C-alpha cells in the first residue's frame, strides 16, 4: 500500500499505530530533495522549537518564532516603498490612506501563503517550483525572479548612495558612493557566519533605527491627526484627478513584492519542527501568522507616518513654493537647484525629500535631513541584505548550483551594483533617484510570475495536504492577480499613446505579446500541476508532461514489492516532477 504525501506530511492521513513504521521508512522523493538541500548552507544553525501536543500560546515560544516575520517585512520599508509613500502623500494628501491599509491586508494574506508553504513542506518556493514545473517554465521563473532581485537591489543601492551623498555633504562622487555599497556584502557575510539569531538581531537594530529617524521627522512635522483618521476610515477620494488615480493603481501594483514571496517561504524553514505531526504544523502557522501581523502593523504605522508627513507639507504646493523656502535657508550646503523655478506641482523623490526637510527646518545643522538620510541608509542596508539572501535561495532552488556562500552573495551583489554604476556615470543624483519608478514598474510586471506558482503549489493537495488553500483564499489571491495584470496593461496602454517612434512602438507591442504568451504558458503548466489532465495534451505542455505516468508508477510499485526500495526512482523522478505532481511514495 502506498500513500501520496509531500515530504512525509499530510498528517491527517497517518495512523497512530503506523507512526513508528512511518519514521523508519523514508520516501524516495524526500531523499532526492535532501540530496539537493545538502549544498544549501543558508540555515546551518536551525532553531529548534519546543514541541507541544496541542496549540497553547506561550510568550517564550513566540520569541522562538520571532525573526522570519520581521525580516520579511523589511522589504515593505525598502527605498522603493518609501518613494511610493512620499509621492502618494505629495500628490493625493491623506485621501488614500485607506488604500494603504487595504494593500497591507492583502500583503498579509499573500505572505501568509508563502509562510505556510515553507512551514508545511519544509522547502521554499524556488525548490518546490524546481520540482513541480517543466524545464522551460523553471528557467523562465528563475530568470524573471533574478531580474526582480537585481531590480530591487538597484533600488536599494540607489537609496544607500543617496543617503551617503547627504551624510557626506556631497563630497564624494556618486559612483564612489555606489561602489561603497559592496561593503554591506562583507557585513552580511560576517553576520551570517556568526549565526542566524545575530543576523536577525542586526535586522532588528536597523528597523529600530528606521522607526526612530522617520518618527523624529513625524514629530517635527506633526501632521493633522483628524485628516489622517478620515483618510484611514473613509474609502473615498473626492475631487481626485487622473494623477491621483494613477497613484492609487501604482500603490496596489507595487505593494506585493515578488522576490519577497520566495524569501518568506525560505526564512520560515529556519525553525525546526516535527512535520510528521499536524499539531506542530498548525502551531507553527499560528505563531508565524501572529508575528507577521505584529510586524505588518509596525510597517503600516511607518508607511502611514511617511505619507502623512509629506501630505501635510507638500500636498498642493508648487516648485516655486519650495524653491523660495530653500532660498531662505541659512545652511550653505542645501542644493537649492533641486526644485526648479516654475509653478508645476512639486515632484518628490528620495533626494529632493531630504533637501526639502533641510529647507523646512533651517539651522546650522539640519538634523531632519540627516535623520532622513540615516533612516534611508538603514532601509537600504537591511532590504539589500534580505534581497541578497533571496538571491541565494532562488539560485539554489531553481538551479542547485553548488556555490560557496560568499560566491553566491558576491555575485548577487555585483550584478546589482555594476548596472547602477554604469547609470551613475551618465547621470546625476536626481535622475538616479527617479529610477525608482522604473524599478517599481518592473516589479509589478514580474509579480504574476511569483503569485501564480505560489497560488498553484499552495492549492495542491498533493503538496500541502489538508493545509491547502480554501476557496476564499484562492478567490482573494486571484483578484489580486487579475488586478495586477490589469494595471500592467493599463499603464502599458498609456505608454503606447505617448510613443511616436514606430520602431519603439513595434518593439513594445512584440514585448507585450511575448509577455502574454509567457503568462498563458505558466497558467497551463500550473493547471497540469493541479491535476487538470486535459491541458496536458496541449503543445508545449504535453511535450514535458508524463506520457506513460501510470506505467512508470506500476513498475516502481512492482520493484518496491520485490524489496528494491530505490528501483526506477531516478528514471521516474523527472516524470513525477515535470508532470507537476510531487508524489512521495511512502513504503509501508
What pLDDT is attached to residue 586?
31
CATH number for the domain harbouring residue 358: 1.10.4160
In a domain, 277, yes or no: yes
Q: Is the pTM of this model over 0.95?
A: no
What pLDDT is attached to residue 31?
40
In a domain, 302, yes or no: yes
Inter-residue contact 376 to 82 (CB < 8 Å): yes
379 to each of 80, 161, 415, how far by Cα in Å? 10, 12, 20
Q: Which residue has the cell 541578497?
A: 388
In a domain, 478, yes or no: no
Number of domains, the chain: 1
In a domain, 510, yes or no: no
Strand partners, 180: none
In a domain, 305, yes or no: yes
In a domain, 263, yes or no: yes
What pLDDT is attached to residue 142?
92
In a domain, 124, yes or no: yes
Closest CA to 34 of 72, 8, 11: 8
What pLDDT is attached to residue 234?
87
In a domain, 178, yes or no: yes
Closest CA to 123 of 396, 326, 518, 367: 396
Cell for 273? Answer: 519542527
344 to each of 88, 89, 316, 340, how far by Cα in Å? 17, 16, 10, 9
Q: Which residue has the cell 538551479?
A: 399
Exposure of 393 in the CB half-sphere (CA atoms within 13 A): 29
What pLDDT is attached to residue 49?
62
Q: Which domain holds residue 120?
A: 43-448
**pLDDT tens series, the chain, 588 aa:** 233 334 434 434 333 434 443 443 334 334 434 433 433 445 555 665 666 666 667 777 777 777 788 888 888 888 888 988 998 999 888 988 999 999 999 999 999 999 999 999 888 999 999 888 888 888 999 999 988 888 888 888 888 888 988 888 888 887 787 777 767 666 766 776 667 777 788 888 888 999 999 999 999 999 999 999 999 998 887 767 767 777 777 777 667 889 999 999 998 888 887 777 788 888 888 888 988 999 999 999 999 999 999 999 998 888 888 888 887 766 666 777 788 888 888 888 888 899 899 888 877 778 899 999 999 999 988 887 788 788 888 888 888 776 776 776 777 677 767 777 777 776 666 666 667 777 878 888 899 999 999 999 999 888 888 888 989 999 999 998 988 888 888 878 877 777 777 888 888 888 889 999 989 888 888 887 777 655 555 555 554 444 444 455 455 555 555 555 444 333 443 444 444 333 322 322
Amino acid at each position: 500500500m502506498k500513500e501520496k504525501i509531500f515530504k512525509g506530511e499530510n498528517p491527517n492521513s497517518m495512523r497512530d499505530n503506523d507512526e513508528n513504521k512511518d519514521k523508519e521508512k523514508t520516501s524516495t522523493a524526500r531523499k532526492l530533495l535532501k540530496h539537493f538541500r545538502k549544498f544549501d548552507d543558508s540555515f546551518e544553525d536551525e532553531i529548534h522549537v519546543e514541541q507541544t501536543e496541542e496549540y497553547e500560546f506561550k510568550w517564550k515560544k513566540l520569541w522562538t518564532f520571532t525573526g522570519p516575520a520581521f525580516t520579511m517585512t523589511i522589504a515593505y520599508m525598502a527605498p522603493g516603498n518609501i518613494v511610493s509613500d512620499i509621492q502618494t502623500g505629495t500628490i493625493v494628501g491623506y485621501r488614500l490612506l485607506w488604500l494603504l491599509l487595504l494593500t497591507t491586508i492583502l500583503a498579509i494574506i499573500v505572505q501568509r501563503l508563502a509562510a505556510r508553504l515553507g512551514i508545511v513542506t519544509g522547502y521554499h518556493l524556488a525548490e518546490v517550483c524546481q520540482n513541480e514545473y517543466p524545464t522551460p517554465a523553471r528557467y523562465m521563473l528563475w530568470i524573471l525572479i533574478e531580474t526582480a532581485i537585481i531590480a530591487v537591489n538597484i533600488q536599494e543601492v540607489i537609496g544607500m548612495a543617496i543617503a551617503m551623498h547627504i551624510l557626506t555633504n556631497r563630497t564624494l562622487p556618486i559612483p564612489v558612493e555606489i561602489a561603497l555599497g559592496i561593503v554591506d556584502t562583507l557585513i552580511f557575510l560576517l553576520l551570517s557566519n556568526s549565526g542566524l539569531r545575530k543576523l536577525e538581531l542586526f535586522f532588528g537594530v536597523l528597523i529600530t533605527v528606521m522607526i526612530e529617524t522617520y518618527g523624529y521627522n513625524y514629530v517635527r512635522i506633526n501632521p493633522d491627526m483628524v485628516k489622517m483618521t478620515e483618510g484611514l476610515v473613509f474609502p473615498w477620494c473626492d475631487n481626485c484627478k487622473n494623477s491621483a488615480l494613477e497613484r492609487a493603481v501604482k500603490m496596489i501594483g507595487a505593494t506585493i513584492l515578488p522576490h519577497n514571496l520566495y524569501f518568506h517561504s525560505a526564512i520560515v524553514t529556519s525553525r525546526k519542527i516535527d512535520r510528521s505531526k499536524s499539531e506542530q504544523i498548525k502551531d507553527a502557522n499560528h505563531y508565524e501568522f501572529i508575528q507577521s501581523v505584529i510586524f505588518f502593523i509596525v510597517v503600516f504605522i511607518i508607511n502611514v507616518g511617511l505619507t502623512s508627513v509629506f501630505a501635510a507639507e507638500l500636498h498642493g504646493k508648487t516648485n516655486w513654493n519650495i524653491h523660495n523656502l530653500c532660498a531662505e535657508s541659512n545652511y550653505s550646503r542645501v542644493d537649492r537647484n533641486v526644485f526648479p523655478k516654475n509653478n508645476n506641482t512639486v515632484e518628490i523623490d528620495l533626494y529632493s525629500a531630504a533637501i526639502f526637510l533641510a529647507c523646512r527646518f533651517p539651522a546650522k545643522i539640519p538634523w531632519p535631513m540627516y535623520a532622513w538620510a540615516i533612516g534611508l541608509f538603514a532601509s537600504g542596508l537591511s532590504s539589500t541584505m534580505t534581497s541578497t539572501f533571496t538571491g541565494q535561495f532562488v539560485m539554489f532552488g531553481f538551479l542547485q548550483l553548488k556555490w560557496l556562500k560568499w560566491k553566491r552573495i558576491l555575485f548577487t551583489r555585483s550584478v546589482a551594483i555594476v548596472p547602477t554604476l554604469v547609470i551613475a556615470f551618465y547621470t546625476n543624483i536626481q535622475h538616479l533617484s527617479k529610477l525608482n519608478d522604473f524599478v517599481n514598474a518592473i516589479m509589478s510586471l514580474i509579480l504574476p510570475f511569483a503569485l501564480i506558482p505560489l497560488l498553484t503549489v499552495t492549492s495542491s493537495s498533493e503538496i500541502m495536504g489538508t493545509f491547502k488553500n480554501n476557496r476564499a483564499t484562492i478567490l482573494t489571491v486571484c483578484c489580486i492577480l487579475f488586478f495586477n495584470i490589469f494595471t500592467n496593461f493599463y499603464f502599458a496602454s498609456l505608454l503606447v499613446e505617448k510613443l511616436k517612434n514606430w520602431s519603439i512602438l513595434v518593439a513594445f507591442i512584440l514585448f507585450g505579446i511575448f509577455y502574454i504568451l509567457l503568462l498563458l504558458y505558466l497558467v497551463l503548466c500550473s493547471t497540469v500541476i493541479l491535476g487538470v489532465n486535459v491541458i496536458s495534451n496541449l503543445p508545449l505542455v504535453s511535450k514535458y508532461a508524463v506520457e506513460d505516468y501510470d506505467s512508470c508508477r506500476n513498475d516502481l510499485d512492482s520493484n518496491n514489492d520485490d524489496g528494491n526500495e530505490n528501483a526506477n526512482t531516478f528514471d521516474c523522478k523527472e516524470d513525477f516532477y515535470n508532470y507537476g505532481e510531487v508524489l512521495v511514495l511512502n513504503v509501508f
